[in-house]
Amino acid sequence: MPSIKLSNGVLRYKTHPLFLGVKRIDKEIAAENLSLLKRFLGERNITFGLIAGTLLGAVREKDFISHDEDIDLFVLGEQKQKFLDLLPELKKEGFEVARFDRRGLLSIIRRGEYIDIYFFVPLCEGIRHCCGWCVPEELLLKTAMLEFKGDLFVAPQDYEGFLVYEYGYNWQTPIKWADFEMPKWKRKLNEWKELMKEVLPDCLFYPIANRIERKVLNKYISNMERYNRFRNTSLKIPM
């Protein structure tokens, strides 16, 4: 059974296989989960922000994106252990751990809706990353409050810069990226892959993960070049 190291012990959990196309988001439950998590973390002085598809939906649709499947949040890596140590308390609020990528991605689930939490740590000067996902550090450190679902949430102050960086200049044009009608064999294969990631020992997991990350990093070279043009900056691109 997979586990997460806490400051005062170990938390064991049952993996919920999660992958792109596993489910379509239930906006009502997702909004309820986001509100509950904000209250819980706010009372414990942990800051999180909207990112990825959730930020895109908040800016463009003023709602969750209909073809999305989860909530995406970011937390600075400096607060990672503090967050993990609160998981037993979070369980009392109805949230279960769904998966944990030891490189920095945590998924929690409540009432069938899950939240991906990305813990971003420094990669090189001006860049933070999580599981191979690179983001200009200034987008995560310079934040402002953004109204969403009747509440205020932390988000990149330059949210347009983030959306251009991540999705391109046409970020305002909806593009369906999830297929919720994948064949049963493909769904089973994806479930198997997710389960295997949880149980692989570090000596096997990290070499495989690092090889995949190197391929992913190549994508962000072009993203960074686009962001540099948009912001007229010269952030160093990780090689």
Taking only the tens place, the pLDDT of each residue in 131-148 is 889 999 999 999 999 999
Question: What pLDDT, on the 0 to 100 scale, is given for residue 238?
Answer: 55
Residue 33 has pLDDT above 60, yes or no: yes
AA letter at 228: N
Pairing of strands 96-101, 151-156: unpaired
- Which comes out higher in pLDDT, residue 126 or 33? 33
Tell me: the pLDDT tens digits for 180-225? 888 888 888 888 888 888 888 888 888 877 877 777 777 788 888 8
> What is the average pLDDT across 2-8?
93
Count CB neighbours of 79 within 10 A.
16
Tell me: the pLDDT tens digits for 41-97? 999 999 999 999 999 999 999 999 998 999 999 999 999 999 999 999 999 999 999
For the chain, give the number of residues: 239
AA letter at 236: K
Pairing of strands 113-124, 71-76: parallel
- Which comes out higher in pLDDT, residue 127 or 154? 154
- Which comes out higher in pLDDT, residue 37 or 236? 37
Question: What pLDDT, on the 0 to 100 scale, is given for residue 50?
Answer: 98
Beta bridge partners of 3: 12
Listed in sequence order, the DSSP H helices in the chain are: 27-42, 52-60, 80-85, 87-92, 137-141, 159-167, 184-199, 202-231
1 burial via Cβ count (<10 Å: 0-12, 13-18, 19+): exposed
Tokens 């509440």 label which residue? 151
Question: What pLDDT, on the 0 to 100 scale, is given for residue 98?
Answer: 96
Nearest to 195 by CA among 13, 21, 35, 6: 13
Residue 13 has pLDDT above 90, yes or no: yes
- What the block records as the tokens of 62 is 């003023």
> What is the average pLDDT across 162-185?
88
Residue 100 has pLDDT above 60, yes or no: yes
DSSP codes of every residue in 27-79: HHHHHHHHHHHHHHHHTTT---EE-HHHHHHHHHTSS--TT--SEEEEEEGGG
